[in-house]
Structures are given as structure tokens and as C-alpha cells.
Amino acid sequence: MRHFTNVKDIGPLFAALAKARYVKENPFADQALGKNKTLLMVFFNSSLRTRLSTQKAGLNLGMNVIVLDINQGAWKLETERGVIMDGDKSEHILEAIPVMGSYCDIIGVRSFARFESKQADYDEVILNQFIHYSGRPVFSMEAATRHPLQSFADLITIEEFKKSTRPKVVMTWAPHPRALPQAVPNSFAEWMNAYDCDFVITHPRGYELAPQFVGGARVEYDQDKALEGADFVYAKNWAAYADPNYGKVINTGRSWTVTKEKMALTNNAYFMHCLPVRRNMIVSDDVIESPQSIVIPEAANRVVSAQAVLKEILLSL
């Protein structure tokens, strides 16, 4: 694997899951693979899990790890070409990227959708600049349209907890006070569509995701109906995708919070969320604290997904 930005890069899922299981059972088996190799993680946005789990994955593989927070201590970067740089941006990303590439062997990038231009977000302008100008393998630590390390960890978690061969997985929109990217739901849909499950997406009208991510999934606008018989409930907020509301919160949707009453409609479903989660907006205290909540093992599997991906990239260097 050279770059890792979407589900296709990982190859067949059954093989990827087998590699993940091996990594989970033998976390230090590949220490020699990363020796004298440097992982650079570049963050344009905040992170707790991605930062710690990916760093841990690199360390487990024997790598040296450097982390750069672009907004804390680095020069402010201009990302548009052709701009007269007489404002507050001291450096252009087109110099910064090859310089960063010269200091490492693999680069991870976190760069959320900016909601300034749908086209720029959905063209993955920032991530693609890293791919084109760094000279290094690049992996996404959540880009504008996808969060594949999260989705891979979600898939590993579903495999571990599922009780039937073809579980019903329901991804439900839930309320949040701020406009959040579509990367997590897009990506989760992309991975679930590639996996053998009964996948349903539910959200209020106006929150339709991009058709290329919805794919063949069933969309059900009635949340209660969608939740019936669910084995896994995957909650997430996202801002509107459809024009003219791209990047906007169009509905406060307080009735969409995942509560005990909502979970009672399911097949004693497990509750999942990528975290960070706002309690009593997305999910009630009692649901996230219940024995059916698997948000902590889900987050723990972020080390596994990151390590499986970094290992594949290291093998291809």
C-alpha cells in the first residue's frame, strides 16, 4: 500500500481484518520493520484519539514519531496558489509540504472540511497536495470527506462484537450545536457498503449525504423505524451536504438524541460513536454508560487500525 485515504486502499476486507487481528494479538512482532523510519503526523485540526493511537501504533512498529500542530507554533500556511501573500500567512503549503516530506518516511495528515467551498472539500485539495508534493506515502487521519482509520477501527469492532453473520447496522444522525464535517458518516457508509451487513442510514430530511457515499445503503427518514431490530447503532452528527445548505446546521433535531427509549426499539443493540461525543445531545448518559455501549473498545481499536495500515505502508517502502 502506498497511500491510505479510502476503503479501496486496504484491499479485500476479510484479508485486512485478518491482518488487524494479527496486529492486535502480536503488537510488538514487527518492531524491526519501523526501525530508523520516521512517521510525521501533521494536524490542521484538534485530536485526542487519532493523535495518541497513531503515535502508539508507530511506536509499536519501532518507528520514530514526530507530531506537528500547524496551528500551534508552525507558520500560518497559505493553501491557494496565485495569492499575493501580503496578509497573515507567512509560508505557502507548496514549500511546507516538500520540506516536511524531507524529514520523514511516512506522513499522516488531518485536515477537515473547511465548508468554504464544497468543491475544494470534495476534491480533497489539501490531502492531495500532500500526496503530490511530499514525495512520501500519505495516510488520512481524517480529511475533508473521509476518516478511514476510524472506519477501519469501527469495522474491527463490529467484527468482534457481532452475534450473527449479517448484522443490522444503523447509522443515525443525532443533534449537535456546531456544524460538523461529513467525513465520519461518509467513510463509515463507504466501509459498511463494502462489508456484508444490513446497512441503514437514518437522518432528518435535508441531511442527505453525497450519493457516492450512500451507495446501495437503505435510507430511512423515520428514526424509530430504522432502529427496529438493529444490532449496532452508530450515532454521528453531520452538517448538511445538499446545496444551498452545504456545511450548515439546518435542524436542531433534539428528538433524534439516542436515548434508552430509542435503544429499546433495537435488538439489544450495541451503541457506537467515534468520539468525541456530546452527552445528552448525541446520546443520553444512561445509554453511553450502559453495558451495550462499546465506545471505549471502539476507540481502543484505533491503535489496531493505525498499526495495520502503517505496517502495510512500511512493507511497501
Which listed option, ligand AN0, ligand CP, none, makes contact with residue 48 (CB within 5 to 8 Å by class)? ligand CP
**Other residues' Cβ atoms within 10 Å of the Cβ of residue 80:** 11
Which residues 222-281 are close enough to bind ligand AN0 by CB under 6 A?
A: 274, 276
Stretch that binds ligand AN0, among 178-186, 194-202, 215-223, 292-300 (CB under 6 A): 178-186
Nearest by Cα to 240 from 100, 121, 87: 121
For residue 291, count CB atoms less than 10 angstroms from its CB and return exposed for 0-12, middle for 13-18, buried for 19 or more.
Answer: exposed
Instruction: Kindly tell me which residue out of 181, 191, 202, 256 binds ligand AN0, with binding defined by CB under 6 A.
Output: 181
Please report which residue ranges of the chain form alpha helices under DSSP H: 13-25, 49-60, 93-102, 118-122, 125-133, 148-161, 183-193, 211-214, 223-227, 260-263, 285-288, 295-315
77 binds ligand AN0 (CB under 6 A): no
Nearer to ligand CP by Cβ, of 55 and 129: the residue is: 55
Closest C-alpha among 46, 120, 110, 44 to residue 80: 120
Residue 183 interacts, among ligand CP, ligand AN0, none and using kind-specific CB cut-offs from 5 to 8 Å, with ligand AN0
**Residue 184 contacts ligand AN0 per CB under 6 A:** yes
Over the window 136 to 175, marking each residue x when it contacts ligand CP by CB under 6 A and - when it does not, the resulting string is ------x-------x-------------------------
Residue 181 interacts with, from ligand CP, ligand AN0, none (CB under 5-8 Å by kind)? ligand AN0
Q: Is 295 in the site for ligand AN0 (CB under 6 A)?
A: no
Which parts of 179-294 fold into alpha helices (H)? 183-193, 211-214, 223-227, 260-263, 285-288
Q: What angle do CA 244, 250, 251 make, to 5 degrees?
A: 155
Options 93, 104, 107, 183; binder of ligand AN0; rule CB under 6 A: 183
Looking at 5, 6, 50, 257, which residue binds ligand CP (CB under 6 A)?
50
Based on the shown chain and the rule CB under 6 A, indicate whether residue 304 belongs to the binding site for ligand AN0: no
177 binds ligand AN0 (CB under 6 A): no
- Parallel, antiparallel or unpaired: strands 138-140 and 106-110: parallel
Interacting residue with ligand AN0 among 170, 180, 294, 310 (CB under 6 A)? 180
Residues in CB range of 270: below 8 A, 6 or more apart: 161, 231, 232, 233, 292, 293, 294
Residue type, 188: F
Considering only the stretches 46-54, 62-70, 225-233, 259-267, report the one whose residues sit in contact with ligand CP under the rule CB under 6 A.
46-54
Residues forming contacts to ligand CP in the complex (CB under 6 A) are 47-50, 142, 150, 274-276
Residues forming contacts to ligand AN0 in the complex (CB under 6 A) are 142, 180-181, 183-184, 274, 276
